[in-house]
Structure 1
Amino acid sequence: MEPIFIALILIAIIALGEVLSISTRAKIPTLLVVVMIAFVLFQTGLLPESYIEESPLVAFGGMLVPVLIVHLGTMIPLPVIMKQYKAVIITLTGLVLSLGMMLTIIPLIFDYGTAVAGAGPLTGGIISYIITSEGLTEAGLTTLAAIPVVVFTLQNLVGMPLSSMLLSKYALTIREDVNNEEYVSNDGSTLEENGKKRGKRYLLPARFMESNFVLLFLLFIGGALAVWLDGLTGINESIWALAIGITGAVFRIYPERTMERANSSGITMVTLIIVVVHSLVGITWDQVVASLLPVFGIIIIGTAGIIIGAMVGGKIFKWKATKAIPVALTALYGFPGDYLIVEEVSRSIGRNEAEQKRIMNELVAPMLIGGFTSVTVGSVVIASILIGTI
């Protein structure tokens, strides 16, 4: 089959998943639809696995992983993260306790490899899943290959409803008490505008930073540097890529959301999702069924750890559990789920425009920062370190 036809089939599946996700306000995640449809097509033979293995998009997507991670490091300005330090610490507390419980309890019931296979995806999103899946394949642990993908597809169904329920309860307290909590509102300023207010400029002249090609060149420099440093130090390229992105944004080498500014985020995410589809090649229905018991154990124990850790962090900073727990639970779904939940809660709980705005202003920043801390940063570090221990 011609590559264009294979790409059309894959992108059609992704588009269908996106339509269902938008229609249900992310209650049915795009990736859940994509993984389920692709898996059924593989198992029935309607879409031969060899077609995916031969698709140039798979190689292209794999090459883009370190480049995308550099971009992730530029997504949220460091000053915003620092202002939301409570959300960062609460989220990290939840991640650490969740990881500790999974690595302690799961090996007693199953084995250490099973714990590692589930811990990376549970504490983050698509990047941590890819790191874990590729690491298991390289280690020859094909019997565990189904665990990350099943955890990855089911964790949304636990995290999003639970977060929505708790945030709805918390929103009721915002509605009744104007002095309930302090929050950081977003004034809509871009990083460039904020940089100008502080009298800072980019490393390169502004006219060059408006070029899509220059921005992509800078991202590829960061990705290539991360791969080179991996070979030099043995530290996973994902950690280096994330550090390069964050550092580059701080020193104004990269603008905020660099890949989006280069108008390249759409095709990049498509190829990345195709890499996820490729990871299903070789996984059988029997392996999925056999993985369900350990997956349920990982999700239950891991989620319990996140909740307990968030409650501990909430106690330290005097946050209500109904606010602290959803912030940490963003590890299970990330963006755009975190934003959509806040938007839905503010609209359903706020009785007028003023109340809706107050609810939105208080919740959107910590939820987005929670998702960034866990999915974008924490999970990449966790998955990269854990996969090196098996």
Structure 2
Amino acid sequence: MSQLLALVILVGILFIGDVVAVRTKAWVPSIFICAVLFLLGYWTFFPSDIVEIAGVPPAVATMLMYLLITNMGTLLSIQELKNQWKTVLIALSGILGIIVVLFGIGTFLFGFETIVVAIPPLVGGIVSALIMSEAAQNAGLISLSVFAIVIYVMQGFAGYPLTSIVLKKEGKNLLKKYRNGELAVKRADKETAASAEQPELKLFRRLPEKYNTDFFKFFRLSLVAYLAYLVSVLLAPVVSVSPFVLCLLFGVIATSAGFLEKQVLQKANGFGFAIMALMLFIFDGLKQATPGMMMEILYPLIACIVLAVIGMYLFSFFMGKLLKVSKEMAFAVSLTALYGFPADYIITNEVIKALTEDEKEREVLTSHMLPPMLVGGFVTVTIVSVILAGIFVGFL
């Protein structure tokens, strides 16, 4: 198979996944459709190295992971996290619930290694799934390497409908309060909003914009990623710290210092390609999945997701009680761990549109429901999952 034919086939699969997700309003996740098509391809006519033939060898995928995680760090707004401190605590409590229940019950059912591999993808996205998949493969745990990818693919089926249900209940309660004159639109304080805006490139104030080219953006991003890697190597004799965790931290520091702008990879026009290549590399892990192996991991897959949802509900319920946040909103925030952005944004907006056609009422619901959902998804998928993956790889 030629390189371009392989590329056309694989990118075509990603496009089909997007089309199905759009047509079903994200009820059928694009990654699920892509995973099914990849499996069918590997079980029929795909060469086992089709992703590498298409131009995405492991070295390229690793490079893109460093850039993407460092780019994640540039998204962190300390001010917004301060404003949504209740949301942050609820999101963290939901993750704690997953960890406690899976380690407390799942370990006895499936073993320690299975639970270690399952948790980071359950509370994260593509990056944490890939980290755990590679770690399991390096440890010789081939079925668990596939398990990390499959659990990432399937968790949305639990998260999407549950989130929609609890958000509808929360929205109805908010509408009732608004119609009774007990609720108003939440408006951000102008000074708070101004302080939340991070100054762009303080260290390059005098640099003419014409010199801030895409290559200069890539250079600064790769330099920060390299420094994170270098520090992880220097720390290795003392303490083992994942370079990916340090990439996240260094991205935050570099943005705060004005060395990197927010979403620098998007501004360098490289984000779409990076995600495409990393998605292909994720699905490349399915080449080892035989029909027998898929049947073997089906039971732990379903059980881990169910136990995770139970843990999230229990812990977020108690934290919501403590912080005087409704159990529906608390559970919805914790559920963002199962999908993150943009699904949290899409589901919330779909629910709001379904509940009312009045623009003022939609504004009220949006101001009360959307910010915590976005912050919840950011905390769980972007920050905590990468940190957990960086820690958990040491357990394999």
User: Is this a same-fold pair by TM over 0.5?
Assistant: yes
CA distance in 2, matches of 1:221, 1:129: 25
Identity over aligned pairs, percent = 26
1:351 lines up with 2:353 in the alignment: no
Q: Distance in 2 between matches of 1:186 and 1:357?
A: 17
Question: Are residues 1:281 and 2:287 paired?
Answer: yes
1:7-60, Cα deviation, whole Å (9 max, x unpaired) = 11111110111111112221111211111110110012x211122244432332
Instruction: Report if the CA contact (8 A) 1:173-1:180 is conserved.
Output: no
- Residue aligning to 1:251: 257
> Cα deviations across residues 137-171 of structure 1 (Å, max 9, x unaligned)?
11111132232122111110000110011001111
Structure 1: how far apart are the matches of 2:166 and 2:196? 35
RMSD of aligned C-alpha atoms? 2.2
Q: Which of residues 213, 216, 220 in structure 1 aligns to 2:215?
A: 213
Code of the aligned partner of 2:72: L
Q: Give yes or no for contact 2:121–2:151 (8 Å, CA) kept in 1.
A: yes
1:244-303, Cα deviation, whole Å (9 max, x unpaired): 111222222222211112221111110110111111122211111100111111111111
Residues 73, 252 of structure 2: 8 Å contact kept: yes
Please list the CA deviations of residues 169-203 of structure 1 after superposition, one character each: whole Å capped at 9, or x if unmatched.
Answer: 1111221223458856599x99999346xxx8622
TM-score by length of 1: 0.93
CA–CA separation in structure 2 for the residues paired with 1:362 and 1:193: 19
Output aligned runs, 1:234-245, within 5 Å: 234-245=240-251
Q: Which moved more, 1:261-270 or 1:129-138?
A: 261-270
Moved more, 95-104 or 126-135: 95-104
Task: Supply the distance in 1 between the matched residues of 2:16 and 2:28 (Cα, whole angstroms).
Answer: 11
1:335 and 1:229 map into 2 onto residues whose CA distance is 30
Aligned to 2:67: 67
The one-letter code sitting in structure 2 at the alignment partner of 1:157 is F
- Alpha-carbon distance, 1:229 to partner: 2.4
Question: Secondary structure at the residue paired with 2:395?
Answer: coil
Q: Is the 8 A contact 2:130 2:149 kept in 1?
A: no
Cα distance in structure 1, aligned partners of 2:314 and 2:120: 19
User: Using the alignment, how far apart are the partners of 1:191 and 1:6 within structure 2?
Assistant: 48
Counterpart of 1:47, as a letter, is F
Partner of 2:51: 52
Distance in structure 2 (CA, Å) of the matches to 1:55 and 1:228: 31
Distance in 1, Cα, partners of 2:263 & 2:317? 32
TM alignment of 1:277-316, pairs within 5 A: 277-316=283-322
Q: Which residue of 2 aligns with 1:202?
A: 202
Distance in 2 separating the partners of 1:257 and 1:181? 32
Whether contact under 8 Å (1:331, 1:371) holds in the other structure is yes
SS class of match (1:145): helix
Q: Report the AA paired with residue 124 of structure 2.
A: G
Partner of residue 171, structure 2: 171
What are structure 2's unaligned runs of at least 5 residues? Answer: none
Specify which of 205, 209, 227 is matched with residue 225 of structure 1: 227
* Structure 1 portions without partners, runs of 5+: none
Pair 1:376 & 2:374 matched: no
Specify whether residues 327 and 182 from structure 1 end up closer, same or farther in structure 2 by C-alpha distance, changes over 3 A only: farther
CA distance in 2, matches of 1:4, 1:190: 47
